[in-house]
Amino acid sequence: MATPSSGFAGPADLHLHSNHSDGTESPAEVMRQAHAHGIRTAALTDHDRSTGWGEAAETAAGLGMTFIPGMELSAKHEWRSVHVLGYLFDPDDEALRAETDRIRGDRIGRAERIVRSIGRDYDLHWDDVVAQTTMDATVGRPHIADALVARGIVRDRTEAFDGILHPREGYYEPHYAPDPLTAVRLITEAGGVAIIAHPVTTGRDRMMPVPFIERLIAAGLGGFEIDHRENTAAGKRVLRELAAKHDLIVTGSSDYHGSGKPNRPGENTTSDEMVARLIARATGTAPRFP
């Protein structure tokens, strides 16, 4: 449905990854895939990086789609990995850039440590991982998974994450990431809107305590990604109540990673009303309208 006042049209998918982080396709191909799946407003949200925006925006515009620039910023609350989606922030903001440089730099050393550790038990070397990364990608366990696949040690990323890359196997290493409060403040101060990605996934991360989430809201948090395949039904109910209580933005997205995950563009979408609120709240960068 078109929303003429703000110039964009749904359906909107606000969480898509390219090969600038751990997706398997170029930003242009990600936009083409989103369009082929019926999406008309799309965000590119690579981990800790915004270098794919230009290519994605060009392709999206050519397809008649609205492009929302975004990023998925790595954060950490105690032992929990927390992902904070940032939308429409200024990509040249110095504080945010310094933080993403730090995270991306530390991710490399951390990946090397994981590979060294796996290499004691399996025939895997750092060169194998380098061969799986393109475009100075934000390196993560998915690239190590791809190297394990190339070596014939596992069949696909899913098998790698269920086995060798699972923390219980003993090869896991953490990487530097800011506290979620810092992450929310950095995105907000760069003129962006911060949305907690998949806040209630099963097993991997339990939800941050509600009083802590309320501190994030006080620090400028814009909302939650509620419709995501990994959020639990019970968790979604808690988040919807919290969002209603604080009048927050709620989004739904696929978290598409190309062939790296089963997630397909458009499997969850965000309403036009919520996209309009997101755009209205941001001051860092404008969306690219077709």
Quote the radius of gyration of the chain (alpha carbons, Å): 18
Position among 27, 69, 86, 140 found at the interface with ligand AMP (CB under 6 A): 140
Instruction: Please identify, using beta-carbon distances, which residue of 128 and 261 lies nearer to Zn ion.
Output: 261
Query: 82 contacts which partner out of Zn ion, Fe ion, ligand AMP, none, CB within 5 to 8 A by kind?
Result: none
Query: 261 contacts which partner out of ligand AMP, Fe ion, Zn ion, none, CB within 5 to 8 A by kind?
Result: ligand AMP
The answer to the question of residue 83 lying near Fe ion (CB under 5 A) is yes
| Alpha-carbon distance values, 149 to 126, 141, 154, 169, 170 (Å) | 14, 12, 5, 17, 19
**How many Cα atoms within 13 Å fall on the side-chain side of residue 84?**
32
**How many positions of this chain bind ligand AMP (CB under 6 A)?**
11
Least Å distance, CB 72 to Zn ion, is 5
The answer to the question of residue 212 lying near ligand AMP (CB under 6 A) is no
Q: Nearest-CA neighbor of 225 among 196, 248, 201?
A: 196
Instruction: Please identify, using beta-carbon distances, which residue of 201 and 271 lies nearer to Fe ion.
Output: 201
The answer to the question of residue 22 lying near Fe ion (CB under 5 A) is yes
Least Å distance, CB 17 to Fe ion, is 5
Which residue has the CB atom at the shortest distance from ligand AMP?
Answer: 140
Position among 30, 42, 71, 197 found at the interface with Fe ion (CB under 5 A): 197
DSSP the chain: -EETTTTEES-EE--B--TTTT-SS-HHHHHHHHHHTT-SEEEE--BT--TTHHHHHHHHHHTT-EEEEEEEEEEEETTEEEEEEEES--TT-HHHHHHHHHHHHHHHHHHHHHHHHHHTTSS--HHHHHTT--TT----HHHHHHHHHHTTSSSSHHHHHHTTTSGGGS---------HHHHHHHHHHTT-EEEESSTTBSSS-PPPPHHHHHHHHHTT--EEEEE-TTB-HHHHHHHHHHHHHHT-EEEE---BBTBTSS--TTSS-B-HHHHHHHHHH--S---B--
The answer to the question of residue 225 lying near Zn ion (CB under 5 A) is no
Position among 15, 198, 261, 288 found at the interface with ligand AMP (CB under 6 A): 261
What is the per-residue binding string for ligand AMP in 11-50, x denoting contact by CB under 6 A? -----------x------------------------x---
The answer to the question of residue 55 lying near Zn ion (CB under 5 A) is no
Position among 157, 228, 277, 288 found at the interface with ligand AMP (CB under 6 A): 157
**How many positions of this chain bind Zn ion (CB under 5 A)?**
2
Instruction: Please identify, using beta-carbon distances, which residue of 23 and 222 lies nearer to ligand AMP.
Output: 23
The answer to the question of residue 255 lying near Zn ion (CB under 5 A) is yes
What does the binding site for Zn ion look like in residue numbers (CB under 5 A)?
72, 255
What does the binding site for Fe ion look like in residue numbers (CB under 5 A)?
22, 83, 197
What does the binding site for ligand AMP look like in residue numbers (CB under 6 A)?
22, 47, 140-142, 157-158, 161, 257, 260-261
